[in-house]
Structure 1
């Protein structure tokens, strides 16, 4: 299933990032939230567990992800609907917190999406998001793409470091400021990603969900096996077979303008 493949790939690592992200936002209980680009519901679930919201609406374009989220998250305070980040199916200035986890860089027009986040947030409400640091801080992907490019230099254009220049502090801050948000700040959130062995690292890349798994799916058997074998030699494997890496995300937050 689509949701299961995503969970195995990066969903499992997004939860500790979500927890630190929400501690940073420090939104009081009893607030109305939207999680845009909610995917399988990792951030939605964490909002429910940590912030005691009155309501959380998860929005995503993928029916597969939404189905997974609805099945896994059974809470009367939550709801899920199909929708585009650039044209949210929500009235203006109603929500206390609008968040997005690991999705902003995949929207066709991040500027429009940020403007929509600001539009639906009540004056003084929080607008925040986080994205992986593809350039340096997301170890599992950095090892993958460095190996892929070493084998086939023409692959460089597919590397998420090049595809998503938004995923850096300065572009994120500009995006939020240009959307009219105030008190904009950016910070890094870093969490450990420990794989029990090489197979625990490699197998999720065979699931087809995400840019790197999609690239693996496009390879013939010879090139896929060559990539697997090169990664096996490059990863820092400990004596017990485990692989200890880390994942860094960049998080941005701002406050919606207006007085009510």
Structure 2
């Protein structure tokens, strides 16, 4: 199974936390009804479904290079205004679109500036959000801090290091390099609550995403060492629950 192939597993890992962020994000964009939207890297359809529910669009096209994610979105997003296509960010369709958005995907696009330039060509408004991997995305931060403690030789897997641009300043720099003149940024913080350590840990075993894929690459005894190091770091309540928060950074600009 590839790193990005199963919609169900991805949903249990971070897809479910993307949905409250998406709601804040779309509210912040404050677009009029009847707009044509393009959702780049739509994944399982979290952002697309939020646009449909809250922005009253004329249409939404969701594109993603993963056939598994597109299949999941087609099965779960039941709205005639939505359509989905298997496309990468390097193969975006011609516009024009009133709004081009990308949720939790910019860091996985190799040619980020080129992708933003293309979004600027086809969209009147372009907006993105990414997790704050280095600090505020706590469920991932606890994992990689534990890895740094018990397997320092694997620090290069840390998303906070790999995606250091995922800050307000980093996004503004990318947008400016892509040709946008006025860029607005903000943080979005949502709760991520787990009923137990198993509820927290189980999605890491699915192989969907950077941290789970890294964990799966380890021998079972090494996985157990990481597991216990993570457990020791988490703020586990007396009833076993774990209350964390997830911070995303968002940016928007008009073409």
Query: Please, what TM-score do these two structures have when normalized by structure 1?
Result: 0.95
Deviation at 1:192, TM superposition (A): 0.6
What are the superposed Cα offsets for residues 165-223 of structure 1, whole Å, 9 maximum, x if unpaired?
22111121011122222421111100010011100100000000000000110011111
Q: Does 1:81 align with 2:85?
A: yes
Residue of structure 2 in register with 1:241 after alignment: 240
Residue of structure 2 in register with 1:91 after alignment: 94
Alignment of 1:1-260 (within 5 A): 2-88=6-92, 90-92=93-95, 94-121=96-123, 125-256=124-255
Residue 76 of structure 1 aligns to a residue in which SS?
coil
Deviation at 1:91, TM superposition (A): 1.6
Residue 22 of structure 2 aligns to a residue in which SS?
helix
Residue 90 of structure 2 aligns to a residue in which SS?
coil
| Cα distance in 1 between the residues matched to 2:10 and 2:167 | 23
| Cα distance in 1 between the residues matched to 2:56 and 2:39 | 15
How many residues align? The count is 251
| Cα distance in 1 between the residues matched to 2:230 and 2:172 | 34
Deviation at 1:250, TM superposition (A): 0.4
Does the 8 Å CA contact 1:95/1:120 hold for their aligned counterparts? yes
Does the 8 Å CA contact 1:133/1:250 hold for their aligned counterparts? yes
Query: Please, what TM-score do these two structures have when normalized by structure 2?
Result: 0.96
What are the superposed Cα offsets for residues 222-248 of structure 1, whole Å, 9 maximum, x if unpaired?
111111112122110011110000000
Residue 89 of structure 2 aligns to a residue in which SS?
coil
Does the 8 Å CA contact 1:87/1:116 hold for their aligned counterparts? no
Cα RMSD of the aligned pairs, angstroms, is 1.0
